[in-house]
Each structure stands twice: as structure tokens, then as C-alpha cells.
Structure 1
Amino acid sequence: MKYTEEQLNRMCRPASDSEETKLHNAEIMLRRALSASTIVSYSDYEVFGQGSYANNTNIRLNSDIDINVCYAGGFYYSLPEGRVANDYGLGNSINYSFQVFKNDIESMLVSYYGRSEIIRKNKCITVKGNTNRIQIDVVPTWKFRRYDNANNRNYIEGVVLFADDNPIKRIINYPKQHLRNGIDKNTNTLRRFKRLTRIFKNVRINMNNDNYHSNDNITSFLLECLAFNVPTETYNKNRYNCIWNDILKDAIFYLWNGTKEDSSLYDEWGEVSDLLYLMRGHKWNRRDVHESMYWMWNYLQLG
């Protein structure tokens, strides 16, 4: 085994108290910055954490903060095939757009922090970090409604954004469902799901640092989703004595085996929200995951 149980137990821990304080303070400062401007009324948007910070899967020394600023004064939507907006009581569109909202949020941040502290990126707006605050990635979004049922007006609510380099293509996510499902999975796995996610992330960083078969397509988000798809019984096999090398063996083998070309498993795996498929229509694919699990197994010397 490459790592002792003691080393793996250190890897699975969340960020230290001092790092958590920095993250918390950054969120408070961002809320203050946005509320200082009236370009967009405070009542027209919702601010909440997302990503590893909000989901408590962040690791030490790699813990920037993602904050979603979601416009609540309107929404985009999708309908079942053959249905039209009137079928769901949806009226005319409002005289506003996602692109204008993102511009407005950027202006609010520039007004508070200064132009030199703000970087507009393809999908977010970054507030630079310094000695007093951690970097904040501000993600402007709009509400999104997914109408799945052709026979009623019930919908699933998520968020949508449009990248600067492709202002037509919708990027839809469900961060609140992701948060809720992650908590449930963690509870059902004796709090081992989020700990395994942190181990995966730390191992990935170590593999990259060692130039050992690194793959940029294996992101932190993907690793969390893969850990989510590991069966609960794999985590709970030894209920009273958590042996991480054993859990790693079983989890990595399950993910490797489930991404064989002839497997029937991987195509049904979902994101943590359980509302989007993991390997259908994403940049992630079976082969990347299959190969990365093979190399992670060998790197950890689990054979």
C-alpha cells in the first residue's frame, strides 16, 4: 500500500478551522459587496454557496469558494416534447436577460472591489484572493424550471447559465439537490462518502504532482460524482472498523469494472443531484474514467 491508514485518515479530513473561517468570511464579504449596490435589487436575486465548499468536500490548500448569485425575477424553462408554453401557463418573457444580469453583477463587484480585483471569466466572475480573503468565483445564474410531465404543471427547479463563448447553449445544474443528496449519501454511508471524495481529490493532486498519468478531464466534481455512485454497501461493509485501503480497493474496482466497454452500469450513473446523467452528453466519458481508475489503483499500490 502506498499510504498508511494514518495518512489516508489525514487526507479525508475537511479544511482546517482557519481555512473554514477564511471561506466563511469571503462569503460574508461578497454578500456585503452585492448589497452595497442597487444596480440589481437585493430582492431580485438569491445568494448561496455551491461546489466543494458548500458540499463540505473541500480539501486543505485547495479550497477556493464558489458562490451562486441566482436571479429570481424570471426563469428559463424546458418543456416535454410536443408541449408549448401556454400548456403550462407561462406568459411572455421579461425585458431582461442572463447576459445583462451577468454584466450587472460584474459592475456591482467592480464598484465595491475595484476593477483590478475582478476578472471576468467564461462562466463566472472571479474576485481575486489576497492575504485577507480567499479567491471567490461568483457564478451568475437564473432560475430554471424543468417540466417533465406532459399532464401537469409540476416542475423541478434548478439554475441555468450561458458561457461567454457560447451565449446560446444552456448550462443547467441543480446545486440544491446536489447538496441535499450529498448529505443523505454521507449519512447513509456512516459519513464515509465525503471522506472518500476528499481522498480521491488528494490522490489526484498527488498523481498530478508526480506526473503520474494525470488527466485534466478527471475533475474534482467528477470525482465527487464517482464516489456518489459507489454503492452504499461498499462503504458500510465493515461498519465498526473503517479501513480506508479496503474501501479504496472496493470503490476503485467498482468504478473500473463499471466503466468497461461492455458494462451496463456507467451509462446509468448520475451526478450527485441525481437529475443529470454523468456520462451522457458531458465532456466526461467512459474511457477517461476507466483508465484513471486503473492508474489510481496502480499508483496506490492496491494490487
Structure 2
Amino acid sequence: MPRFTEEQLNQMCRPASDTEETKLQNAEAILRKALSSSTIVQSSKYEIFGQGSYANNTNIRLNSDIDINVCYTDGFYYKIPEGKTANEYGLGNPTDYSFQAFKTNIEEMLVAYYGRSEVIRKNKCLTIKGNTNRIQIDVVPTWRYRRYDYANNRTYSEGVVLYGDDNQYKQVINYPKQHITNGISKNTDALRRFKRLTRIFKNVRIRMDNDSYHPNENITSFLLECLAFNVPTSTYVKNRYTCSWNDILKDSIYYLWDNTKEDSTTYNEWGEVSELLYLMRGHKWSRQDVHDYMYWMWNYLQLG
């Protein structure tokens, strides 16, 4: 018999509350107000938008912090095909302003508004402490990033880039807007079951960790969302009119376990939700991590 009843799984698949969008809008409004009170960086030179589990509507904790991207839009970093030159893509001269300067300027603006004690500079973000009046906000300064994929035209994919304080030469590139768009599309095609399964995966991971049942720090919430994204849509809609979460868990976990076997090649082509970065290349998790975790999750859930 499965460990969790359908009623329990239905509880797990729900959002932390019905007010995620409101909380995100409020956090963005708070940040806009704080930054607009300073002219260190003019508001016309940056864009503010949500990212992470709140923006993607996959969060499971009421008290989880909110990630807000502050993206510098008056310049961009780029990557062009090997052997090509910037002039061939109409790219002008480099600016003297840098990512590090932008992050420091945003920090100065937040400190001027909230006070030094309320703003913590971290490796990849600036944290505004939460209190009784506001939720904790992780402000993520980024620059625009263009990836030119083709040698013979100027078409590019636009994302964001940042550099951690611990390594100011290593780029961290993401495509948060495409992540949101593709997540919504997958969820629609999957009869709204993709994001619900993502929340179940996250809740089960917490329970496994709390029970000290084969915990693995490489299995992150982001990875679980991307794995759920790579489960075929047909698995979600196998039965369009009734939804058995234990059946969906069986099919999805088996699919992920089976396609991360040592002789499989499928996993190597899986993408992040943005579909612009590979999921199983260049991350801290490995094929073996995912394969083993699916095995232990199956057993933990007592799926048979």
C-alpha cells in the first residue's frame, strides 16, 4: 500500500497559499519604491521581475523568501560563435560599467533606503531581511545576456548573467523569463498537473530529509522541477478525467529512473525548463544522483 493516500497527496500538490501572485507583486512594489528613492542607477536602466519558485508558482512554504531579479538593461554581455567577431554581429564598443559595479550600486541604494543592518550582501544576491511587515526578499542583480547561436545571422537568445563574489570571472547564465513561459505552457498541456507534481516532489524530498532517508544535497528543488518538466506530457494526461497521484508518481518516477540508467542516452538531452540550457551537463548533480534518488523515492513512497 502506498505511503500516502490520494487525499494526502492532494494536500501536497497545492500552493503554499492562494496569494503567491499578490506576495510577488507586493515584493516587487516594495523593491521599486526602495530603488526609486535613489538616483545612483536611473530606473530607466534596469528592469525588475520575479523569478524562482514564487514566480513559477511551485513554492511549497508559506515563509519562503521571494527572488526578485534586478536586471541592468543599458548594456549586455554576449557570446558569439567561435571564429566570429563582434563587428559581424553589429556589437559596439564595450562599456566601462561592469556587473560588479552594478551590484554594488544596487546594494548602496538598498542600504540607503533600509539601513545597513537590514541588507545582507551574499555571493549571488542581496538579501533584504524580513520582518512583521514584509517577507524576506532576495534581490538578484544581473545584466542582460545575449547568446548568438548562428554563424550567419544575428538572431540571439536573451537571458541574464551574474558573477558571484567568490569568483568574478565565472559567469552564471540563466533564462528566467523563458522558464516562466515554458512552465506555464507545460502546465497547460499537462492539465495543470506538472506544477502540482513538482510540489509533490518537493514535499516528498523534505519528508525524506526529515526522516534521514537517503538524503542527497545535490537533489535541489530546481532539479526536481526540471525533472518533472522532462516527464512526457502523455504521462500527465494518461487519464484525462480522473487523477490518481500515486499512479502519476509511479509512471513519472519510473520514467526518470529508467532513463538515467548507465546505458541510457536520453537524460543527456534533457533541458532545464527554459529549454535553453542542458539539465544534466555542468551542474553539481549527476546521472547517478538522479537515478539513485528515483529508486529511493519509489521505495520511500512504497509504490510497489
Alignment TM-score, normalising by the size of structure 2: 0.97
Question: How many angstroms apart in 2 are the aligned matches of 1:193 and 1:148?
Answer: 29
Would you say the 8 A contact 2:260–2:267 is kept in 1?
A: yes
Q: Which string of whole-angstrom CA distances, capped at 9 and with x for unpartnered residues, describes residues 57-81 of structure 1?
A: 1113353210000000000000011
SS of equivalent residue, structure 1 residue 17:
coil
* 1:241-256 → structure 2 map (5 Å cutoff): 241-256=242-257
**Aligned-pair CA distance for 1:20:** 5.5
Structure 2 counterpart of 1:50: 51
Structure 2 counterpart of 1:119: 120
SS of equivalent residue, structure 2 residue 253:
helix
**Aligned-pair CA distance for 1:147:** 0.4
Question: How many angstroms apart in 1 are the aligned matches of 2:21 and 2:157?
Answer: 32
Structure 1 residues 23 and 180, CA gap change in structure 2 (3 angstroms) = closer
* 1:247-286 → structure 2 map (5 Å cutoff): 247-286=248-287
Number of paired residues?
303
Structure 2 counterpart of 1:89: 90
**Quick one: which amino acid aligns to residue 189 of structure 2?**
N
Question: How many angstroms apart in 2 are the aligned matches of 1:122 and 1:181?
Answer: 28
Structure 1 counterpart of 2:31: 30
**Quick one: which amino acid aligns to residue 48 of structure 1?**
F
* 1:198-277 → structure 2 map (5 Å cutoff): 198-277=199-278
Structure 1 residues 85 and 20, CA gap change in structure 2 (3 angstroms) = closer
Question: How many angstroms apart in 1 are the aligned matches of 2:64 and 2:247?
Answer: 27
Question: How many angstroms apart in 2 are the aligned matches of 1:230 and 1:61?
Answer: 27
Unaligned runs of at least 5 residues, structure 2: none
**Aligned-pair CA distance for 1:18:** 5.5
Would you say the 8 A contact 1:23–1:134 is kept in 2?
A: no
Structure 1 residues 62 and 250, CA gap change in structure 2 (3 angstroms) = farther
**Quick one: which amino acid aligns to residue 155 of structure 1?**
Y
Identity of aligned residues (%): 77
Structure 1 counterpart of 2:75: 74
Structure 1 counterpart of 2:156: 155
**Quick one: which amino acid aligns to residue 119 of structure 1?**
I
Question: How many angstroms apart in 2 are the aligned matches of 1:18 and 1:88?
Answer: 44
Structure 1 residues 193 and 61, CA gap change in structure 2 (3 angstroms) = same
SS of equivalent residue, structure 1 residue 180:
helix
Would you say the 8 A contact 2:141–2:162 is kept in 1?
A: yes
**Quick one: which amino acid aligns to residue 16 of structure 1?**
S
Question: How many angstroms apart in 2 are the aligned matches of 1:285 and 1:72?
Answer: 34
* 1:98-109 → structure 2 map (5 Å cutoff): 98-109=99-110
Q: Which string of whole-angstrom CA distances, capped at 9 and with x for unpartnered residues, describes residues 168-215 of structure 1?
A: 011110011111100100000000000000000111111111111111
**Quick one: which amino acid aligns to residue 298 of structure 2?**
W
Q: Which string of whole-angstrom CA distances, capped at 9 and with x for unpartnered residues, describes residues 114-163 of structure 1?
A: 11111111111111111221111110000000001100111111100001
The answer on 1:191 being equivalent to 2:197 is no
**Quick one: which amino acid aligns to residue 274 of structure 2?**
S
- Structure 1 residue ranges, 4+ long, deviating more than 2 angstroms after superposition: 17-27, 60-63
Q: Which string of whole-angstrom CA distances, capped at 9 and with x for unpartnered residues, describes residues 25-79 of structure 1?
A: 2222111111111110000000000011111111133532100000000000000
Structure 1 residues 155 and 107, CA gap change in structure 2 (3 angstroms) = same
**Quick one: which amino acid aligns to residue 207 of structure 2?**
N
The answer on 1:130 being equivalent to 2:128 is no
Question: How many angstroms apart in 2 are the aligned matches of 1:154 and 1:115?
Answer: 43
* 1:4-19 → structure 2 map (5 Å cutoff): 4-17=5-18
SS of equivalent residue, structure 1 residue 256:
helix
Q: Which string of whole-angstrom CA distances, capped at 9 and with x for unpartnered residues, describes residues 191-245 of structure 1?
A: 0000000000111111111111111111111100000000000001011000000
Would you say the 8 A contact 2:20–2:57 is kept in 1?
A: no
Question: How many angstroms apart in 2 are the aligned matches of 1:268 and 1:48?
Answer: 29
Would you say the 8 A contact 1:15–1:63 is kept in 2?
A: no
**Quick one: which amino acid aligns to residue 180 of structure 1?**
T
**Aligned-pair CA distance for 1:23:** 4.1
RMSD: 1.1
Question: How many angstroms apart in 2 are the aligned matches of 1:153 and 1:77?
Answer: 12
**Aligned-pair CA distance for 1:19:** 6.0
* Residues 15-24 or 53-62, more deviating: 15-24
Would you say the 8 A contact 1:22–1:133 is kept in 2?
A: no
Would you say the 8 A contact 2:21–2:55 is kept in 1?
A: no
